[in-house]
Structure 1
Amino acid sequence: MERTTIGRDTRVCMSLSARPGNAGSRLHNWLYDHYGLDYLYKSFSTTDLGAAVGGIRALGIRGCAISMPFKEAVIPMLDGLDPSATAIDSVNTIVNDDGALTGFNTDYSAVRDLLENNRVDPALPFLLRGSGGMAKAVVAALRDTGFTRGTIVARNPESGPALAAQYGYDWLADMPEEGAAVLINVTPLGMEGGQADALAFSPDQIAACELAFDVVAQPAATPFILAAQEAGKRIISGAEVIVLQAIEQFVLYTGIRPEPDVVVQAAAFAHGEAVAARLRKA
């Protein structure tokens, strides 16, 4: 069902990101149209996070997706946290209930479901780059799906070792020469913009791995993912993560859970058939 009008009663949802893209808007708006909902979704960036969050409250914005680099900085600006955000001290979703702003985290469940749906063996060791808000969600999902051997590579001398210690993994400040069976990039390396050509792991590390997992969603085919595909490796892309976490946001904003075939259709519209095919297969 297509929307018939946009008016004063239209409920608005949004996203805040350092590098806003179109995929999230396309997915949410496609779902709104599919279910005949009087909602509208728009992506934004900001250099004044406090003012932006104040606008969510003041203007009655129903929900807001939070991306890098705001996932931790936004926490003190909210009225409360759902256990999904409290557990990992990271917010990727704000829900506005009559002016009360609550932070949630849907990244965790998306990563957990992708690891389980792709039947990634938790006995395999992993090497993960990053220690920010998204890394917290990924590492928590790794721990909760049974991974016991892993190394977090992060230059930040505070967040890197703290994240590793919290979940019982090793920490390195610099990338080692050797890789691991599972390689996971949770940094902006390969993202559209200044680091678009950067390879998150070396060719030798990629050649020796079994699974390449990149949380960067713009583009879905990062240099890391492309190199892994060329080497015949299994992959999980950031576009898959972004679809599943966005579906959970849609549920929080609207109270409607899309059927699996509708999720695949929305993914195809927003991210292309390749991403939809991988979700359909999983």
Structure 2
Amino acid sequence: MLKVIKAGFYTTIQDAGRFGYRNKGVPISGVMDNEAYNKVNGLLENPTSTPILEITMMGPELVFTQPTFICLGGADLSAQLNKVSITNYKIYKVNAGDTLRFGKLNTGLRCYLGVKNGFNAEIVLNSASQYAPLTMAVKLEKGDVLNYGAVNSFQPKISELKAKENYAKETLLVDRGPEFHLLTDNQLAHLFSKQFTIAKENNRMAYQLHELLVGHNTSILTAATQPGTVQFTPAGRLIILMKDGQTTGGYPRILQLRPEAIALLAQKKHQDKLQFKLADTVF
């Protein structure tokens, strides 16, 4: 078992996502940074949708009660195993009684903790991803206990990955959205020449941007959205939907982030900068 001594700012169980239920209004959920998630599970040689912990901004304090192997990825939160610093994308053996703590946030925003064979979490609609109101728990709380199977021996094919994450990158690669054609020349010029700032309103549902474009009075019928959809409000605000975002919306969908852009944005925080770059392909 994994005992939660301190929960951290916002720590959740996530996997690859909850697919096939968007027509019922159920978001995909799942990890915000698929690239970091896949690297961690890949090193642990876990199946592709193995549950993992997503740790946001400030990490928890965790005690392992049985042996296993762990791997961290994504943001650098100054992790320490038994008060000894450990690095991302490297396999570590843990024993019963070992303690994992986190400290200062150095780079990124979301860190991922995987264990060999994953956590035995509540499964709802074929996914372990925590999301209200589907799952009984929304996030980890002090005193929680997570189950995992004891692993005494593991010889990984690759024990360490030299992955230097560049979360300082500001360019998000995007495709045209269904209502891209509604943009004026003035709006287009600002959209692709301006540097935008992430507003304080950012979470697993959506990221808002501080700077505004010239507004509009165009309305559309409620239409399907997905993670990475960039909505354009009448006031000129840009809202980027993320993994827990709603499945439909009534604002024009002017851009769609590429998967790698969603992963990069997931590692951005309030006041970080970004720019949009249009890909060659048409949405």
TM-score (norm 2): 0.29
Question: Larger % of strand: which?
Answer: 2
TM-score (norm 1): 0.29
Question: Larger % of helix: which?
Answer: 1
Q: Which protein has greater RCO, CA pairs closer than 8 Å, 6+ apart?
A: 2
